[in-house]
Amino acid sequence: MASSNNDHDQVKAAGLFERLRGKIVEFGLMLKKLGQDDPRRIVHSLKVALALTLTSMLFYFEPLYDGFGIAAMWAILTVVVVFEFTVGATIGRGLNRIMSTVVAAALGIGAHRLATLSGNQGEPILIALFVFVEAGIVTFFRFIPQMKARYDYGLLIFNLTFCLISVSGYRDEEVIRLGFERVSTIIIGSFTAVTVCVFIRPVWIGVELHNQIATNMEKLANFLEEFGDEYFTVSENGQIRDKSSSLQGYKSVLTSKGSEDTMANLARWEPGHGRFKFHHPWKQYLKVGTLTRQCAFKIEALNNYLTSEAQTPQEVKSIIQGPSVVISSECGKALKQLATSMRKMTKSSSNDPHIAKSKDAAEELKAVIRSSLCKLPADSLHIIQEGAVASLLFEIIRCTEKIADAVHKLASQAHFKDVKPTVTPDQENSVNDGPHHVIAIE
Amino acid sequence: MASSNNDHDQVKAAGLFERLRGKIVEFGLMLKKLGQDDPRRIVHSLKVALALTLTSMLFYFEPLYDGFGIAAMWAILTVVVVFEFTVGATIGRGLNRIMSTVVAAALGIGAHRLATLSGNQGEPILIALFVFVEAGIVTFFRFIPQMKARYDYGLLIFNLTFCLISVSGYRDEEVIRLGFERVSTIIIGSFTAVTVCVFIRPVWIGVELHNQIATNMEKLANFLEEFGDEYFTVSENGQIRDKSSSLQGYKSVLTSKGSEDTMANLARWEPGHGRFKFHHPWKQYLKVGTLTRQCAFKIEALNNYLTSEAQTPQEVKSIIQGPSVVISSECGKALKQLATSMRKMTKSSSNDPHIAKSKDAAEELKAVIRSSLCKLPADSLHIIQEGAVASLLFEIIRCTEKIADAVHKLASQAHFKDVKPTVTPDQENSVNDGPHHVIAIE
């Protein structure tokens, strides 16, 4: 009996061990995937490790240690809290930290001096008063939206430094030395973090924003290019579309506002790099982003008809099929071309043949609706549904045009390269009279 | 000439002074507005000031100072970085900071001991290696999404403490005392921040989330209640609606996902308070939020027809006017009632008379479309546009039903109060057979 119990325990222990091993393997695979999805994460981790090891040198070498003493730990602390994934975020935090430390240290020293003048009795009361007033005001300033967007961290550090300097000064008469040490170690830490961040495989948040805006356009384009085929062939086999299909990539665009705003705020801290100048028009990126999101809202509405259970019979659908497929795919192509020229930082022709084609198809679709759709002997509800799809497609053309205008404006503001237009009128069998400028860079 | 220059300078100086005064007055008014918009901001600023002044006491009193020495500044630092606007955020940061400091300090002491064993030559190399490996791993862990959501700050502080302890230990043999000091001062700082935050006019982020979800529903309800009147009377005077009208409140719902996710994450740190228990179903709030946002996407599409320049002639609109106005306003009422019962934390009847009415109106609208809309001698494009409006209204009913289901589920999960249903069949002139349960709490 005892032996059987023992066996049982062993089996249990083995099972537990197996499960633990499974968990660990799972965790390892998850880490591996994180690294593979974006290898810059591994590089970033190594960069942080390097910057921290470098700063630790401050403690190793006697002369530096004698200079800064225990205050050298501020440098380590600074590296840890300042070093972010992107250059913009790192510089933003570094500058915030340095500037506010300098100002707050000066004020803290002043407050300490003022308090000392009032004698032994008054000193702690005055310092407590100063701390209370300063902390109250600075904390309230953090609610100002413009401050919050760019200087929130600076205000936090201001609060911190002022308290440390003025309060610790009460004990330590070397308050000026303390302030100087804090400022200089923080400058060393920030400098180390920024240097490593900028010079070893930098991740520019401006470039991230640039790419995200282009990617978002591509996500919409992918949906639009596929939509026609998906929608008009769905009822043949009577199946309802799988909601988790590859077309659903646009969903992330619906809620991308927050991350775009943050990126644009941080991008403004970055110095010029590559083809991005210091005063790159980040605000115009936000405008393109907003228009892309508005287009995504229309696509969300369109997607609804794709996944809806109440599918219209094929004979009603086929009335609007031809021009609808053209509108959708041409708008998709136009968006894809805009995204491509944005990625390559080239100016695309403002005379987009795809938009022109989709507009022609829209006229055709309107004619079809006028002449046949409402005269069909079908259930009016089905007719109305197809009408709603058509109506959304008209709006998507309008959105695409707006996006195109915004991208062209961005291209001129950001001095994107001109691409020599190659005139190839035959290539485009368009109904417009003049020859089209075809963008040669795709 | 000199005098005239002088006069000129004086005028310039006066102008500059006037402008400066104007700026200051403007800034003051902006601050006043910030405080009036949400007086809790002023309370929060005073709370932070109080907590900081309390912590500064550590320096004033000799016995405490003798105990902690310069390390007492960690307590001040902790208060500044831990004290957030809401209880959840403050507790989250405080716990993160304490836990990671304890673990990292222990590991740091261990690393330091291990390095000491290798002798004077090997020690700095080993410590540099430990710092590099630890910083690399911990920084990489911050990319794990589940970690990032709740323990990002903890990982940052882990990195910090490990480096401080293991590196400063190289110089200071009292490395264990240092670790102990750091842990205890951080606990004191966190404790002060959390206590002041919880016991003086606390702002619970769970309550904020609860209210925001209800407010978002109300914003949609406001649009829907007004939509009918706005849309169907627009073309009488031929004016296009002002886009900045009071109806546009729902726009903020479109992009509220980020803030809701953050709030739900932080709410989980909060202890039970009032009618919110520790395991309050925060995830269900997110589900209600997601459904509300989906409904907002439909409303965005509907709003398009409200502000569109191509208005349908009144004779076409009037065909669908009756049932459309009913659908829109009844869905609005249903949402408003759900929001109200959520605010009061009461269970509302799952048998919503407003939804029932809107469904009846939908049947009526379908009949109207079948019988008359497509037979009008009007431009088919206008007919299609009205069809699109009707189609969106059908979807809004479906959305409202889904929101109602999610709110009912939330009410039962979160143990909202039962409200005795007062049966008043006469009050509702409904076409349904059975009497309705009318919610008596509105």
Q: pLDDT, tens digit, for every residue of A114-140?
A: 888 887 788 888 888 999 999 999 999
At residue A281, the 3 state secondary structure works out as coil
Determine whether the interchain pair A48/B76 forms a contact, defined as Cβ–Cβ distance below 8 Å. Answer: no
Question: Does the beta carbon of A99 lie under 8 angstroms from any beta carbon of chain B?
Answer: no
pLDDT digits (tens, 9 = 90+) for A31-81: 999 999 999 999 999 999 999 999 887 766 655 555 556 677 888 899 999
pLDDT recorded at residue B32: 94
Tokens of B262: 């953050």
Question: Does the beta carbon of A438 lie under 8 angstroms from any beta carbon of chain B?
Answer: no
CB A219 within 8 A of CB A253: yes
Mean pLDDT of chain A: 84
Which residue in A139, A395, A320 sits closest to B193, CA to CA?
A: A139
pLDDT digits (tens, 9 = 90+) for A196-241: 999 999 999 999 999 999 999 999 999 999 888 888 875 445 555 5
Instruction: With a cut of 50, say whether residue A280 has pLDDT above it.
Output: yes
At residue B310, the 3 state secondary structure works out as coil
pLDDT recorded at residue B87: 96
For chains A and B, count residue pairs whose Cβ atoms are closer than 8 Å.
208
Convert B116-131 to b/e letters by CB count within 10 Å (16 or more is b): beeeeeebbebbbebb
Place of tokens 């083995």: A14
CB B366 within 8 A of CB A381: yes
What's the CA gap between A292 and A288, in Å, rounded?
A: 6
Identify which has the larger pLDDT, A401 or B419: A401
Query: For each successive 10 residues of chain B (442 residues), what is the average pLDDT?
Result: 65 87 93 94 96 81 57 86 95 96 92 83 86 95 92 94 79 73 90 95 95 96 90 60 68 91 93 88 95 94 81 82 93 95 88 90 88 74 84 92 95 85 45 35 28
Instruction: With a cut of 80, say whether residue A5 has pLDDT above it.
Output: no
Residues of B in contact with A370 (CB under 8 A): 379-381
pLDDT recorded at residue A406: 95
CB A359 within 8 A of CB A397: yes
B53-62 CB contacts, 8 Å cutoff, 24+ apart: B53/A128, B53/A131, B53/A132, B53/A135, B54/B192, B54/B196, B55/B79, B55/B188, B55/B189, B55/B192, B56/A127, B56/A128, B56/A131, B56/A163, B56/A167, B58/B185, B58/B188, B59/A167, B59/A168, B59/A170, B59/A171, B60/A124, B60/A128, B60/A170
- Residues of chain B numbered 317-336 and touching chain A (CB < 8 Å): none
CA distance A371 to chain B (A): 8
Helical spans, DSSP H, in A308-379: 314-343, 353-371
CA distance A203 to chain B (A): 15
Tokens of B32: 């006043």
CB A215 within 8 A of CB A256: no
Q: Please give the C-alpha separations between residue A163 and each of A108, A168, A176, B78, in angstroms, as whole numbers.
A: 7, 8, 14, 12
Q: What is the pTM of this model?
A: 0.86
pLDDT recorded at residue A281: 94
pLDDT digits (tens, 9 = 90+) for A367-392: 888 887 777 777 777 888 888 888 89
Instruction: With a cut of 90, say whether residue A296 has pLDDT above it.
Output: yes
Question: Does the beta carbon of A133 lie under 8 angstroms from any beta carbon of chain B?
Answer: yes
What's the CA gap between A234 and A318, in Å, rounded?
A: 12
Determine whether the interchain pair A298/B301 forms a contact, defined as Cβ–Cβ distance below 8 Å. Answer: yes
Question: Does the beta carbon of A257 lie under 8 angstroms from any beta carbon of chain B?
Answer: yes
Phi then psi for residue A4, to 5 deg, are -65, -40
Burial of B243 (0-12, 13-18, 19+ CB in 10 A): exposed
Place of tokens 């969903």: A251
Least confident of A2-6, A167-171, A435-439, B337-341: A435-439
This model of the complex carries an ipTM of 0.85
CA atoms within 13 A on the CB side of A1: 0
CA distance B259 to chain A (A): 9
At residue B423, the 3 state secondary structure works out as strand
What's the CA gap between B309 and B311, in Å, rounded?
A: 6
Interval A265-269 mean pLDDT? 93
Determine whether the interchain pair B45/A300 forms a contact, defined as Cβ–Cβ distance below 8 Å. Answer: no
Instruction: With a cut of 80, say whether residue A363 has pLDDT above it.
Output: yes
Determine whether the interchain pair B160/A81 forms a contact, defined as Cβ–Cβ distance below 8 Å. Answer: yes
CA atoms within 13 A on the CB side of A399: 29
What's the CA gap between A266 and A59, in Å, rounded?
A: 32
- Residues of chain A numbered 362-391 and touching chain B (CB < 8 Å): 366, 369-370, 373-374, 379-381, 383-385, 387-388, 390-391
CA atoms within 13 A on the CB side of B96: 26
Burial of A50 (0-12, 13-18, 19+ CB in 10 A): middle
pLDDT recorded at residue A437: 36
pLDDT digits (tens, 9 = 90+) for A71-114: 778 888 999 999 999 999 999 999 999 999 999 999 998 888 88
Determine whether the interchain pair A45/B370 forms a contact, defined as Cβ–Cβ distance below 8 Å. Answer: no
Least confident of A262-271, A412-421, B293-302, B390-399: A412-421
Determine whether the interchain pair B131/A52 forms a contact, defined as Cβ–Cβ distance below 8 Å. Answer: yes
